[in-house]
Amino acid sequence: MIPPSIKLTKAALTLDDGAVFEGFSVGEIAEAEGEVVFITAMSGYQEVLTDPSYHGQIVVFTTAHVGNYGTHPEVDQAPVAHAAGAVFHELWLPPVKHWLNDKDLPNYMAGRQLAGLTGVDTRALTLHLRDKGARNGYIGPLDQGLEKARAKARAVAPMIGRDLAKEVSCPEPYSLPPLVLDWSPKETIPVAVIDFGVKKSILDDLRRENLELTVFPADATRQDIESLKPKGIFLTNGPGDPAACPYAAELAREYLGRLPLFGICLGHQIMALAAGAETYKLPFGHHGLNHPVQDSRTGRIWLTSQNHGFCVSPHKLPSNVRASHWNINDDTVEGLEWTDKPAFCVQFHPEASPGPHDACGLFKRFRKLLEDFYA
């Protein structure tokens, strides 16, 4: 709960269908706009707010209490907050004693220019989004008038057709050395990372496999990449509509069969488009740490971390591409693998410790794919 010493200002989240959910403003930024989605995770709020895949979205946290364990810079997935805003039922202050606690959540949000709303009936809001689908919305003060707030919500650009990868990608290439541990493979292998909005934890897991990374902007060309002679290509997660990034699919198409490829989330969708498949927008997306996915090869069920609003259609997969993983909840495609090329990809996030270690072996699989290709 918030101590009485903290001044609260009445504000509201207004959706483009006219629905209004009142609460109190958090932080120094009073306004935010974006697509409103809900996440079912009970922890990891700092990781969510700094995940570039949430760029352009207002995130509704379904768990009742948020902020319990504070924040710490080491947990950030990017140098800045990427979510457009955050909505909570109740902020818990002060946070409990925790060895990584450096700052409470409201001060953290204020320092990163992130708008928030607390005191909201998030159960009613989540049910509304579940039934109506993800909506565009606007967070702002109550005293401006309802019609003005509704007009701002309706003016938010739709997510379909938006290329957001370029907005969050690195401006210039940069290099990262391996993070060699006792169990890491001994041979260093250079890999090109195409940054559509990469999370720090993904880069760290790749580096622990003794991969030397060069991270390229989303719109990097084949000439840019081949100047460093990588032995593999990794396509990262990121926000927005994959169909709005034809340049990325074209780049992946050039490398399919030439070098080993691995993609996660948006990278998975880009690889599917490169193969000739299609993508579509889900009603309210998959956002949480508890989504069950079945490995079609073994029948094993994995608990996965997910964050995406678009999905790969299973109906136009080419004959040399098979669905390797399926979502148990709604039977959507969660992974692909090529039968005649060294390439695979997954929709979920293996680096986010789901299960907690169900999917971590995918980074080792990529490492082995590289070793086998050059054996």
Catalytic center residues: 265, 349, 351
Q: CA angle 111-146-135, nearest 5°? A: 65
Q: What are the start-end ranges of the H helices in the chain? A: 45-49, 105-111, 122-132, 146-154, 165-168, 200-207, 222-226, 246-255, 266-274, 361-373
- The DSSP secondary structure of 96-128, one letter per residue, reads PP-TT--B-HHHHHHHTT-EEEES--HHHHHHH
At residue 273's C-alpha, the angle toward residues 272 and 275, to 5°, is 65
Residue given tokens 């940054």 in the structure block: 195
Torsion of CA 29, 35, 40, 44, to 10 degrees: -40
Length of the chain: 375
SS3 readout for 24-63:
EEECCCCCEEEEEEEECCCCCHHHHHCCHHHECEEEEECC
